[in-house]
Structure 1
Amino acid sequence: MKKLLFGILALGLVSSCNNDNLTNQSEDSSTTPESSGLFKRGCASEEVRQEALKNNAQLRQKYEALEAHTEKFMNDVKLGKVLPDGTVEIPVVVNVLYRTAAENISDAQIQSQINTLNADFSATNSDINKIPTEFAAVAAGNTGVKFRLAQVNRKSTTVRNWRTNDAMKKTSSKGLDATDPTHYFNIWVVGEMGSVLGYATFPESAGLWNDGVVIAAKYFGNTSAVPYNLGRTATHEVGHYLNLRHIWGDANCGNDLVADTPTQTTANYGKPTYPLLNTCSGVQRSVMFMNYMDYVDDAAMFMFSGGQKTRIQSVIASAGPRAGLRIN
């Protein structure tokens, strides 16, 4: 298991190992993106974050404060100085932007997504028993986060394809303004974003006008868009919203700042076969491709780790950057 990187990096860039390679190509044919029938899973959260940090000094300061707070919280938990604040129920506002009837998703589809989030973040998902024995000891269990649908806003729009420039978050650009992002978790459901399934803001953006998650309609909740049809795109993006990074650290053998997720060379796709072995820094290990923060198909991801749970709890704690969302 990797050591945490505690240094605060100006743009949130993470370290990588030199001369490390993927050493096991033992995944079966289902791991190829072509076999999934769709393009590879695409999440633009880290790219959007880096661009925002590069162009905004105030946001960089908030990022640095966020990671300092997270590091202290994790150390205090380890030393028994703080205890989790119990279950936090987050009110959710879903903003549906549609051009066609199919994009104007039903209330049932929206509720199916809320149900999936609640199952995945409480470890009551039906596939939780698939966690390999190797990783069972570090599985998160209940993260202490619940989601409650507070409001659904709908708007017909003429936009055919949305980009990751946050236009959908502004009424002035044919989108919908956020509902009080300090106290509500806003999700924008849009028609198409090309190869991007979704993206999120991280907690340094808490309360800002653009704070929240964006997901393409056909990947939101239970849909027919196999292999991204089980609502796990939202689980992944909400992980970012609650300060989880991609499990490979967005670099070759990168660091996701979580001690109990094995270092891996890069993202995984499709439905890998366990064990999947990677080598980083000369050490071969089995990787946690079934983690929600990897890029595998919806049916192949079904767990958070304990370290990820602690990072989540640090941002929803009473002193955390998302404390305004707390409804106890």
Structure 2
Amino acid sequence: MKKLIFSAFSLMLLFSCSNDENANGTQDTAATEAHHRGCASHEIHERQLRENPLLAQKMAEIEQITDRAIAEGRIVNGVLEIPVVFNVLYRTASENISLAQLQSQIDVLNEDFQGINADYNSSNPYNSVRGALNVRFVLDNVVRKSTTKTSWGTRDAMKNSRQGGINPTSPTTKLNYWVCTIGGGILGYAQFPGGSSATDGVVVDSRYTGRVGTATAPFNLGRTATHEVGHWMNLRHIWGDATCGSDLVADTPTHNAPNSGVPAVGHRSTCSGQPLEMYMNYMDYTDDRGMYMFSSGQASRMAAIFSTSGPRSSFR
């Protein structure tokens, strides 16, 4: 098991996987159906760090708050309700996904974060460290807007009405979830705690939102949003976005790289000691049917951001 290393934090902030974008923030290539998970959170966070020299210090302070909140054990009292605003940007009828599909995504988030998903009890070597969070996601509102854009890229244009997008609704008290075609093989991305409220939230392609309607295999069980909301709650990719990197969580094993598809039982890392990888973790890159748990350490880390001194304390 790897040790949480604070000093490594600034070298691996945020998670994402992105393709080159043109100047107006749209992808140069048309959107295509994704066969491998693409998350653009890490690259976007690195861009935000370059654009805002003060963000690194702010993120370091969040790490100190997180460590203290976990150590003190006073995280969240009772069930924390998180209102979700869906901002749907559509060009075609299929992109204008139904209320039923959006509600199915809310259902998935509640199941996955509360640890009541049907596959939660799947037998694996990490059953003893499974974790859950005492939160309840609630569909607060749906904002829809027709657009002529074929793809939005990863420069947050979908979050800005002046660029044809939809401005966030009360981002300090509501989780904004943009539904749109991102392009470039990107399924979704999120903003970590500490970034600008004007761009705070998650973005997920309409084809990978929810588990009914247009939800497309192998990412048709709503787990892309579970992964991205995990980022929004301060979780790193499980491989630490580096070969044998750290995700800053003590009870997850070291991964040499992201996994795809559904790995065979017993898959091991090539890192020191060849630890058995936690490829069923939501913060890996496996297909939706291959991921079904957070660890206890991840749950504590997520809960810490909602503590009275945490970066998302306004949600309490």
Q: Tell me the TM-score normalized by structure 2.
A: 0.90
| Cα distance in 2 for residues equivalent to 1:131 and 1:213 | 31
Give 1:44 deviation, angstroms: 0.5
Q: Deviations over 1:26-77 (max 9, x none)?
A: xxxxxxxxxxx94311001011001101220222222111111112222223
Out of 149, 152, 158, the position equivalent to 1:162 is: 152
Q: Deviations over 1:154-193 (max 9, x none)?
A: 0001111110000000011010000011111100000242
Alignment partner of 1:280 is 2:276: no
* TM-superposed deviation, 1:280: 1.5
SS at match of 2:141: strand
Q: Which residue of 2 aligns with 1:253?
A: 244
- Counterpart in the other structure of 1:198: 188
Which residue of structure 1 aligns with residue 77 of structure 2? 85
Match of residue 66, structure 2, among 57, 61, 70: 70
Could you tell me which amino acid in structure 1 is paired with residue 141 of structure 2?
Answer: Q
Structure 2 matches for 1:1-328, cutoff 5 A? Answer: 1-7=1-7, 9-10=9-10, 12-13=12-13, 38-77=34-73, 82=74, 84-132=76-124, 134-140=125-131, 142-205=132-195, 208-222=197-211, 223-281=214-272, 283-326=273-316
Deviation of the 1:101 alpha carbon: 0.5
Partner in structure 1 of residue 29 of structure 2: none
Query: Does structure 2 conserve the Cα–Cα contact (< 8 Å) formed by 1:185 and 1:325?
Result: no
Q: 8 Å contact 1:95–1:176 — kept in the other structure?
A: yes
**Aligned-CA RMSD value:** 1.6
Gaps of 5+ in 1: 15-36
CA distance in 2: counterparts of 1:246 and 1:289, whole angstroms? 11
The answer to whether the 8 Å contact 2:181/2:206 transfers is yes
In the aligned structure 1, how far is the partner of 2:123 from the partner of 2:80?
25
The two structures have a TM-score, normalised by structure 1, of: 0.87
Check the 8 A contact 1:200/1:237 in 2, yes or no.
yes
Change (3 A) 1:301 1:185: same
Whether the aligned pair in 2 keeps the contact of 1:131 and 1:302 (CA below 8 Å) is: no
Change (3 A) 1:277 1:12: closer
